Amino acid sequence: MTAYLLRRGGQTILTLLVMSILVFVGVYLVGNPVDVMISATATPQERADLIMRMGLDQPVWVQYWHFLKGALSGDLGNSFLYNRPALGLIFERMPATLELAFSALFMGLVVGIPLGVVAGLRPSRPESRGIMAFSILGFSLPTFWVGLMMILLFAVKLDILPASGRGETVDVLGVPVSFLTLDGLSHIFLPALNLALFKISLVIRLTRAGVSEALQSEYVRFARAKGISEWRVVFLHVLKNTLIPLITVVGLELGALIAFAVVTETIFSWPGMGKLIIDAITTLDRPVILAYLMITVLMFTVINLIVDLAYTLVDPRVKIDGGSE
């Protein structure tokens, strides 16, 4: 187990290194952030001074070396625009994004799994067809359009939910969360649903496929032949086997929810970190871009690890092996 974790750790560090080089060189090639940020009235001399002060006059490998030295001591540099540590900027916005992502995931699971089970158990019933038709819509409608329609319907026409923002927050262990207040809940409902729509559809389809496959299997037929109650067959034998592919996909999707919720965050003006990366990219705020992507890589790696560990809980056949295969 220890050897396994060590190996995974080594892989992660290598990924981070390669990613940082790619991003660094990529941003360097795109353009000079000073040209985007500096006021039109500054003289060429002032422009040159600024470039020097930011170290942008150095060759790219020297700049990278400085970055690497800082990164090893936990300092990913200051944002050009905010003049504050890039990591701090991201962590400040992370709770809002995490809250949104987990709410969406929660909705995806609590709505998606039951509907998927229903559709899988009785595929020919009209309600099952309805569920499947809904899942196709959920897949194919673009998030930003659905988001705008939701605002139009719930906020503008019906006027029952707020159109944007995060609402009232309360501090839990120093972290501001909004799902504990009514105002906060009313604010998070639409963006979370918007983000969850695709996940719900995905979970429905995965669950349905898993359920209908499990229903064909020997062990389900045997369980039924033994006269076990239908309830127990569905919940213990069918559902548990359906969970394995679901865990993999949901794990990866969670990472994507956290890292790339930007469309929803923009439409609902959710103060999360997705907007930060977009602003950073348009202004070439390199420290923020780098820090953001490094955190994203780290997050995906951790989630993958948790997914692998979760397999062993659900499926006793899976063993984590530390030695070389």
Partner 1 sequence: MISKSSVAMTLAAGLLSTCLAAPAAFAADLKIGIAGSPTSMDPQFYVIGTNSAMARNIFDGLVNQDDRQQLQPALATEWKAVDDTTWQFKLREGVKFHDGSDLDSADVVASIERVKLASENSPSSFMPYVKGISSVTAIDPMTVEFKTETAMPLLPNNLSRIAILPSEEGTTPSSELNAGKGVIGTGPYKFVSWIPDSTIELSRNDNYWGKAPEWDNVTFKVFADSSARVASLLSGDVDMIEQVPPANIGTLETNKGTAIVTNSSNRVMYLHMDQDRDVSPFAKGPNGENPLKDVRVRHGLSLAINRQAIIDRIMDKQGVPAGQLVPDGYAGYVESLKPDPYDPKKAKELFAEAGYPNGFDLTFHASNDRYPNDSLVAQAIGQMFTRAGINTKIVTLPKSVYFSRASKLEFSFIMGGAAVETGEASGVLGPLLETYSANSGAGNRGRYSSAAFDEALQRGRSLLDADARNKALQEAMTIAMKDEGVIPVFFLAHTWGLKDSLSYNGRTDGYTLAENVHAAN
Cα–Cα distances (Å) from 149 to 34, 137, 141, in that order, read 39, 14, 11
List 85's β-bridge partners, or say none: 78
Tell me if 58 sits within 8 A of 67, measured CB to CB: no
Q: Which of 72, 159, 216, 325 binds partner 1 (CB under 8 A)?
A: 159
Q: Site map for partner 1, 129-148, x if CB under 8 A?
A: -------------------x
Residue 19 as a binder of partner 1 (CB under 8 A): the answer is no
The binder of partner 1 chosen from 155, 209, 244, 252 (CB under 8 A): 155
Least spacing, CB of residue 140 vs partner 1, in Å: 21
Residue 218, CA distances (Å) to 116, 138, 236, 271, 318 in order: 21, 33, 15, 51, 20
Among 76, 87, 89, 206, binds partner 1 (CB under 8 A): 89
Cβ neighbours of residue 24 closer than 8 Å, sequence gap 6 or more = 60, 63, 64, 67, 286, 290
Q: Which is nearer to partner 1, 78 or 296 (CB)?
A: 78
Pick the piece of the chain touching partner 1 (CB under 8 A) from 220-228, 281-289, 302-310, 317-325.
Answer: 281-289
Are the C-beta atoms of 195 and 261 separated by less than 8 Å? yes
By CB under 8 A, tell whether 268 contacts partner 1: yes
* List 58, 63, 248, 266, residue binding partner 1 (CB under 8 A): 266
Site for partner 1 in 219-248 (CB under 8 A): none
Under the criterion CB under 8 A, does residue 177 sit at the interface with partner 1? no
Q: Is 118 in the site for partner 1 (CB under 8 A)?
A: no
Secondary structure class of 261 (helix, strand, coil): coil
Among 258, 284, 291, 303, binds partner 1 (CB under 8 A): 284
Q: Does 30 contact partner 1 by CB under 8 A? A: yes
Q: Does 78 participate in binding partner 1 (rule CB under 8 A)?
A: yes
Q: What's the Rg (C-alpha) of the chain?
A: 24
* Helices within the chain (DSSP H only): 2-30, 33-37, 44-53, 60-72, 86-121, 126-140, 143-150, 182-216, 218-225, 230-232, 239-259, 262-267, 273-283, 286-314
Q: Least separation, in Å, of the C-beta of 308 and partner 1?
A: 27
Q: Name every residue whose Cβ is closer than 8 Å to that of residue 154 and which is 6 or more positions away in sequence.
A: 160, 161, 190
Residue 64 CA to its chain's centroid (Å): 28
Answer for which of 47, 70, 102, 209 binds partner 1 (CB under 8 A) is: 47
**70 binds partner 1, rule: CB under 8 A:** no
Kindly state the tokens that stand for 290.
Answer: 């780098």
Among 46, 127, 230, 321, binds partner 1 (CB under 8 A): 46
Scanning 11-19, 110-118, 216-224, 315-323 for contacts with partner 1 by CB under 8 A, the matching segment is 110-118
- Point out which residues bind partner 1 (CB under 8 A): 30-48, 50, 53, 78, 80-84, 89, 92-93, 107, 110-111, 114, 148, 151-152, 155-156, 159-167, 182-183, 185-186, 189, 266-269, 271, 275-276, 279, 281-284
